[in-house]
Amino acid sequence: MAILDDIYSTTVKGAYKEIDPLVEKALSEGVKIDDIINNALSKAMIYVGDKFSTGELYMPDMLLSAKTMKTAMEVLKPHMSASNHTSEKGTLLIGTVKGDLHDIGKNLVITMAEGQGLKVIDLGIDVDYPKFVEAIKENRPDIVAFSGLLTTTLGNMPAHIKAIVDAGLRDKVILAVGGAPVTREFADRYGIELYAPDASTAAKEFIKALENKKITGGK
Ligand code: B1M
């Protein structure tokens, strides 16, 4: 589809000032939001990451593409969070793990979760273990989700979980994890209940887990 190709190439180029009208045009043509995200924006980010790996693109290129995707998401957001938020189905606490600054995927998970009626507390990026623990104590979430894009910092997952265990909070929350290098096996290795490969699956899995859950977020 021509408009998806245009959004893809504009995101690859990092031409963030040109992205708004293209996304508006796609919406007015009735293109599905999932298609815009998966078949244009995310696809472009994967391409940019691959070119970065091979040394054909550089850090400033990744930053501009990230800014372009973020700008596009701002246009899409109001169309995604249309569900009513009056009946909160549960609380999700989410953050990008310590040492990791990537937040586009996390923000997409947040938008989708809010669209499903969840209350979301966003701890941001580079979230250290004690910050997760303090936020769990303060907010009593039902689900605690870790987002991680770097294989190096995902190696800190045992320390994240140990901090929660040591604080006596492990049986009070459902743990969830996701991010490009994360797999079901990774989640299983650390006893993390919920894994989702993408944002819309994550939101559906959150709802399913809340429906099945026996724990109470400490409430
Ligand atoms: Co970086 N980066 N980056 N980067 N970056 C990757 C991740 C990389 C794969 C690129 C590459 O080399 N091919 C590579 C990691 C290699 C690895 O560890 N395996 C990499 C690297 C190496 C780095 C630096 C180390 C580069 C350097 O400094 N030399 C550096 C690290 C900085 C740090 O974090 N400490 C770095 C920096 C950056 C920027 C700042 C320039 C920028 C981030 C901007 C930002 O996020 N605000 C950036 C970007 C943009 C990328 C790529 C190109 C795109 C990531 C992205 O936004 N994708 C990325 C390449 C790639 O992923 N192929 C790359 C779009 C987004 C929608 O997808 O985040 O995967 P994603 O989220 C998905 C799913 O994963 C899932 O749902 C989302 C939507 O479907 N999901 C969850 C995510 N979180 C979830 C949580 C859940 C469930 C699902 O909870 C249950």
Mean pLDDT across 116-128: 95
pLDDT surpasses 50 at 206? yes
User: What average pLDDT does the segment 104-126 reach?
Assistant: 93
Q: What is the mean pLDDT of residues 165-186?
A: 97
Q: 90-216 belongs to which CATH class?
A: alpha beta
Q: Is 101 in the pocket of ligand 1 (CB under 6 A)?
A: yes
Q: What's the CATH architecture for 2-82?
A: Orthogonal Bundle (1.10)
- Give the domain ranges of the chain: 2-82, 90-216
Average pLDDT over residues 121-127: 98
Instruction: Identify any residues that bridge with 96 across adjacent strands, giving them in sequence order.
Output: 147
Does the beta carbon of 109 sit less than 6 angstroms from any atom of ligand 1? yes
Q: What is the H or E stretch that residue 28 is in? A: helix 19-28
| Ligand 1 lined by 112 (C-beta under 6 Å) | no
- Per DSSP, helices labelled H in 29-145 are 33-36, 42-53, 59-80, 104-115, 129-139
Rounded Cα–Cα distance for residues 141 and 152 (Å): 27
CB atoms within 10 A of CB 177: 26
Confidence at residue 214, expressed as pLDDT on a 0 to 100 scale:
54
Q: Among the listed ranges 33-42, 49-58, 86-95, 192-201, which one has the minimum average pLDDT value?
A: 86-95
